[in-house]
Structure 1
């Protein structure tokens, strides 16, 4: 098994969005954050022998992390076809031999009903855009429907919301971790070259 640092280096070749959409909050998940999330899933035996579904996969960072760390198969789901094409190219860059499928669909209404154990991973929209508040709620709802366990990234201060949502949907937050990443300037409304975002990662078991 590669170390968390080695996994981050492997994921370093994964490129981001050619034409990011502000409304979809499309940002490349940093390799260090992705490797941390996937490493935690691996330590909890939530990858081996399982299907990993990346909800809102973008260009495939988390999906490919799961593929590199031993998932039986991986499904990346995204509503935007452009990033999915980039994800296919990223798979070739990473070089994983794990079976990976890319599905164009709304991650909040995924047309999947898998029989095998599923681990959902996601870096959903935080709901930072006006009119899109709590966008991550619908992504968690999908995880509750299709997954046995999920790993998700949320804005700082989301503990109460995530725990309450899990409780209301027959889920249990079993672990929470704090982290951060640098958000690059990529939209016109950004007023700095980059800024650091504090985030929280959650592991949730779903009944």
Structure 2
């Protein structure tokens, strides 16, 4: 882990998670190490500094605040649930980022945003995987929103999603340019969880949208 990425993960360690997570929304806290990895990669690709960064399904603001620490023109967190948004605002004060940060309560898959230029927008997101019955392929709608709003996106998906992500990107005139595997630590927070904690394998994709 590089020093910059390690420092970013430490700064994000103060970000509080969900007080009352909702299973239908698949609300899980993005670990600071994973958020730092995503933001650091985006930073290395010149996808953060001076740009508008959108966090779709921002939850308590982990990716929004990670981007805000790396010099964007502005960082915008979009979240439908008001409770984690309130936590995100408190987290903003904890992190102390100096960037222009906005929090918007809205459905991230129908975000009321119209950037003047998609080429100046980066999306960072850890969308629901669609693991809940009736919510299958939930990440598809998030990718569609990213394709509409951004020139480039970074997104977290369940293991084994590469074929789907590459096909979806190609259908929208985009291309997967980077991909890496990671682990997501899930504490026991819902009644259907059997173990006290679980580590699941995930995949992160950078997509350049056409």
TM-score by length of 2: 0.97
Structure 1 CA distance for aligned equivalents of residues 3 and 49 of structure 2? 14
4+ runs deviating over 3 angstroms: none
RMSD of equivalent CA atoms: 1.0
Q: Distance in 1 between matches of 2:184 and 2:79?
A: 22
Where structure 2 has 5 or more consecutive residues not aligned to the other structure, the ranges are none
Asked whether 1:150 is paired with 2:183, we answer no
Report the equivalent of 2:32.
31
2:193 is aligned with 1:186: no
For 2:57 and 2:81, the matched residues in 1 are separated by 9
State the 1:182 CA deviation. 1.4
Deviation at residue 108 of structure 1 after TM alignment = 0.3
1:60 aligned residue: 61
- Gaps spanning 5+ residues in structure 1: where? none
Kindly report which structure 2 residues correspond to 1:1-207, keeping only aligned pairs within 5 A, or say none: 3-116=4-117, 117-207=120-210
Secondary structure of the structure 1 residue equivalent to 2:156 = strand
Deviation at 1:181, TM superposition (A): 2.0
Q: How many pairs does the alignment contain?
A: 207
Partners of 2:190 and 2:121 lie apart in 1 by 35
Aligned-pair CA distance for 1:2: 6.4
